[in-house]
């Protein structure tokens, strides 16, 4: 197998080869490190590459597998983490000068769980500063590029995760998501990104942005791989006060290629509104995806969720207020260490009143209630993942992106699981994602529908031209 | 903030000082478009009819004093 073929294997495919000893973790890890060396100068998806450590882990995994101690589908699989997941003894920066020299003394729970599953950590990935700012050249860290077109952003805030998975620079990654930071880059890079239910995956040891909105989740090339990574990281963590004790199902068992009998609701009044700030081409591509879901057996119906119109106001007020509470001391004492974009947005969070924050939380409850009512009639809710295709670096303006409707933020408010699965490309060759959201803790249904759709349209066969 | 149509720089300075941020005039000027955008958004949040039971924060009476 060539280096490219090795790096384009899915986690599932590589796992079979590793388990059957047809492939060595050392050979696989070396292929990824070589590819990073060759391509990442232009993609800028990594902040830190852990070459020596990764090769050492690979040799250890190889020895374990050879002596029959195979740990499971992530054993020997090279992955990388968004650089806000704490890694013991490895610098974790959140892409900010504020944390430029921060070396955690302990792993995040998710970091530790992926290590326990036998994965190989290739490095730490670029991101928007503190998971919010945007592609800000003043933050002092690399700005990941979109592998489908280097002139465009890969989305954010898990920008490096989106770019690296799409370009075959790691087999899977963890992103974090407060308003769409997993699903956005997944959509813009034509990969799969899952924001699990709030409380499903521990956030212990992950630099926070907004405690009531933050989620951690996998970003991979296929839905099957997302299920594998979710299985490794899901479950109760006593170190995270928001962690759920709900039992963890077997996610691989949910990957049945069948959506017959599934009812999918579409709130057209919001996601397909006649609004000039929503991209028509994106809507058209997702309409085709909805037709495909119908053709393969799902029932697609229109639903109404009137309070969705308030989500765009509620989510940022909560997010920025909570972000200011976390960053207040540094914003007051060393504002020059923040990049321009994130500093301005965090400062805005300082200016909301307590009444406004609380009203946003009250409205959030109304939104949750309306979704709950609709989810009694449907299994899933579908929409475009993003209201617009990726923006170009040239002329990027944070206010322009702030003004476009967020199609992902509502699910951070409700805490529902939501996935982005690739569904097509626009005329410029930029990817478009389909978003499917489900009932709390019903990741199996979300995964099943996304898996069925992905197996049918087979966009995973098309890699970016890097 | 909710009632502001376009906040003045002096008003913005007052709000930011209250938050413990000492901002220069050019920083306040740069912040104003984002503040004005969110101020307009926030007004919408107060238009919605909410019940007294629509709580913002809930505390469980079943908390465990040992935890």
A243 labelled catalytic: no
8 Å CB contact of B35 and A359: no
Q: Is 0.95 surpassed by the pTM of this model?
A: yes
Q: How confident is the model at residue A134 (pLDDT cuts 50, 70, 90)?
A: confident
Question: Would residue B56 count as lying in a domain?
Answer: no
Q: Would you state the pLDDT for residue B66?
A: 59
Q: How confident is the model at residue A111 (pLDDT cuts 50, 70, 90)?
A: very high
**Per-residue pLDDT tens over the stretch A59-76:** 999 999 999 999 999 999
Q: How many domains does chain B have?
A: 1
Residue A78 backbone dihedrals phi, psi, to 5 degrees: -80, 120
Q: Which of B15, B33, B45 sits opposite A313 (nearest CB)?
A: B45
Question: Would residue B39 count as lying in a domain?
Answer: yes
Q: Would you state the pLDDT for residue B57?
A: 80
Spatial CA neighbour of A441 closest among A223, A174, A177, A248: A248
Q: How many domains does chain A have?
A: 1
Q: What is the mean pLDDT of residues A145-173?
A: 98
Domain containing A443 equals: 8-461
pLDDT over threshold 50, residue A378: yes
Q: Would you state the pLDDT for residue A401?
A: 83
Q: How far is CA A45 from CA A48, A167, A229, A383, B44, in A?
A: 9, 10, 20, 28, 39
8 Å CB contact of B30 and A356: no
Q: What is the mean pLDDT of residues A297-316?
A: 97
8 Å CB contact of A317 and B57: no
Question: Would residue A171 count as lying in a domain?
Answer: yes
Q: CA A261, CA A127: separation in Å to the nearest integer?
A: 39
Question: Would residue A297 count as lying in a domain?
Answer: yes
8 Å CB contact of B41 and A350: no
| Helix H or strand E segment including A355 | helix A354-374
Helices (H), A48-173: 51-66, 109-116, 159-166
Residue A59 backbone dihedrals phi, psi, to 5 degrees: -65, -40
**Per-residue pLDDT tens over the stretch A240-282:** 999 999 999 999 999 999 999 999 999 999 999 999 999 999 9
Q: CA A414, CA A307: separation in Å to the nearest integer?
A: 12
Question: Would residue B42 count as lying in a domain?
Answer: yes
Q: Does B36 touch chain A (CB under 8 A)?
A: no
**Per-residue pLDDT tens over the stretch B39-62:** 999 999 999 989 888 888 877 777
Question: Would residue A2 count as lying in a domain?
Answer: no
Q: Which of A320, A344, A351 sits opposite B30 (nearest CB)?
A: A344
Q: What is the CATH number of the domain that holds A214?
A: 3.90.1300.10
**Per-residue pLDDT tens over the stretch A80-97:** 999 999 999 999 999 999
Q: CA B38, CA B18: separation in Å to the nearest integer?
A: 18
Q: CA A322, CA A365: separation in Å to the nearest integer?
A: 17
Instruction: Identify the burial level of A20 via C-beta atoms within 10 angstroms of its C-beta, where 0-12 means exposed, 13-18 middle and 19 or more buried.
Output: exposed
Residue reference for tokens 């699903």: A183
3-state secondary structure (DSSP) of residue A25: helix
Instruction: Identify the burial level of A429 via C-beta atoms within 10 angstroms of its C-beta, where 0-12 means exposed, 13-18 middle and 19 or more buried.
Output: exposed
Q: How many CB atoms lie within 10 A of CB B6?
A: 11
Q: Would you state the pLDDT for residue A50?
A: 98
Q: CA B9, CA A210: separation in Å to the nearest integer?
A: 28
Question: Would residue A1 count as lying in a domain?
Answer: no
Q: CA B43, CA B4: separation in Å to the nearest integer?
A: 9
Contact yes or no for A434/A423 (Cβ under 8 A): yes
Q: Which of A351, A353, A363 sits opposite B35 (nearest CB)?
A: A351
Query: How far apart are the CA of B21 and the nearest CA of chain A, in angstroms?
Result: 6
Reading the block at residue A280, the tokens are 């028509």
Domain containing B18 equals: 9-48
pLDDT over threshold 60, residue B67: no
Question: Would residue B16 count as lying in a domain?
Answer: yes
Chain B hits for A402, CB-CB cut-off 8 Å, are 34, 37
Instruction: Identify the burial level of A209 via C-beta atoms within 10 angstroms of its C-beta, where 0-12 means exposed, 13-18 middle and 19 or more buried.
Output: buried
Residue reference for tokens 């990654």: A173
Q: Would you state the pLDDT for residue B4?
A: 45
Question: Would residue A3 count as lying in a domain?
Answer: no
**Per-residue pLDDT tens over the stretch A183-242:** 999 999 999 999 999 999 999 999 999 999 999 999 999 999 999 999 999 999 999 999
Question: Would residue A466 count as lying in a domain?
Answer: no
8 Å CB contact of A350 and B30: no
A157 labelled catalytic: yes
Alpha carbons within 13 A on the beta-carbon side of A452 = 22
Give the number of residues written for chain A: 466
Q: In this prediction, what percent of chain A has a pLDDT beyond 70?
A: 100
Q: How far is CA A292 from CA A257, A300, A435, A463, B12, in A?
A: 14, 10, 14, 22, 51
Give the number of residues written for chain B: 67
Q: Would you state the pLDDT for residue B3?
A: 45
Rounded to 5°, angle at Cα A352 from A348 and A358: 135
Helices (H), A142-189: 159-166, 183-189
- Positive or negative torsion for Cα A130, A121, A385, B54: negative
């Amino acid at each position: 197998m060539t280096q490219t073929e090795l790096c384009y294997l899915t986690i599932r495919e590589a796992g079979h080869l590793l388990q059957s000893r047809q492939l060595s973790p050392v050979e696989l890890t070396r292929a990824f490190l070589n590819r990073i060396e060759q391509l990442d100068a232009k993609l800028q998806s990594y902040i830190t590459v852990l070459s020596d450590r990764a090769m050492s882990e690979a040799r250890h995994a190889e020895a374990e597998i050879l002596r029959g101690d195979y740990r499971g589908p992530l054993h020997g699989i090279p992955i990388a983490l968004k650089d806000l997941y704490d890694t013991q003894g490895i610098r974790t920066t959140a892409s900010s000068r504020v944390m430029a020299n921060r070396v955690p003394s302990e792993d995040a729970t998710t970091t530790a769980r992926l290590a326990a599953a036998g994965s190989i950590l290739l490095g730490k990935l670029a991101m928007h500063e503190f998971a919010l700012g945007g592609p800000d050249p003043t933050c002092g860290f690399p700005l990941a590029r979109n592998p489908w077109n280097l002139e465009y952003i890969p989305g954010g805030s898990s920008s490096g995760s989106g770019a690296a998975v799409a370009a075959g620079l790691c087999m899977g990654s963890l992103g974090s998501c407060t308003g769409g930071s997993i699903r956005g880059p997944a959509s813009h890079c034509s990969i799969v990104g899952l924001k699990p239910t709030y409380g499903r995956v521990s956030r212990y040891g992950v630099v926070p942005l907004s405690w009531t909105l933050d989620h951690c989740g996998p970003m991979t090339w296929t839905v099957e791989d997302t299920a594998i990574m979710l299985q490794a990281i899901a479950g109760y963590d006593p170190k995270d006060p928001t962690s759920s004790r709900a039992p963890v199902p077997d996610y691989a068992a949910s990957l049945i290629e069948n959506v017959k009998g599934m009812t999918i609701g579409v709130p057209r009044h919001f996601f397909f509104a006649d609004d000039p700030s929503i991209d028509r081409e994106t809507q058209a591509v997702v309409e085709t995806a909805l037709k495909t879901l119908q053709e393969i057996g799902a029932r697609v119906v229109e639903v109404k969720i009137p309070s969705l119109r308030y989500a765009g106001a509620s989510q940022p007020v909560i997010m920025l207020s909570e972000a200011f509470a976390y960053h207040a001391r540094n914003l007051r004492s060393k504002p020059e260490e923040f990049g321009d974009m994130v500093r301005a947005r965090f400062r805005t969070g300082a200016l909301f009143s307590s009444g406004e924050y609380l009203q946003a939380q009250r409205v959030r409850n109304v939104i949750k209630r309306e979704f709950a009512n609709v989810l009694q009639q449907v299994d899933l809710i579908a929409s475009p993942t993003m209201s617009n295709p990726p923006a170009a670096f040239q002329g990027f303006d944070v206010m322009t992106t702030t003004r476009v409707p967020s199609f992902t933020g509502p699910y951070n408010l409700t805490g529902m699981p939501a996935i982005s699965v690739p569904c097509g490309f626009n005329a410029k060759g930029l990817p478009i994602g389909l978003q499917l959201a489900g009932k709390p803790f019903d990741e199996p249904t979300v995964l099943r529908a996304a898996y069925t759709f992905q197996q049918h349209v087979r966009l995973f066969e098309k890699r970016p031209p890097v | 903030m909710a009632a502001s149509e376009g906040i003045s720089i002096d008003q913005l300075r007052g709000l930011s000082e209250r938050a413990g941020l000492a901002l220069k005039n050019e920083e306040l000027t740069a912040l104003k478009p984002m503040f004005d955008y969110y101020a307009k958004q926030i007004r919408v949040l107060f238009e919605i009819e909410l019940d007294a039971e629509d709580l913002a924060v809930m505390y469980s009476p079943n908390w465990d004093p040992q935890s």
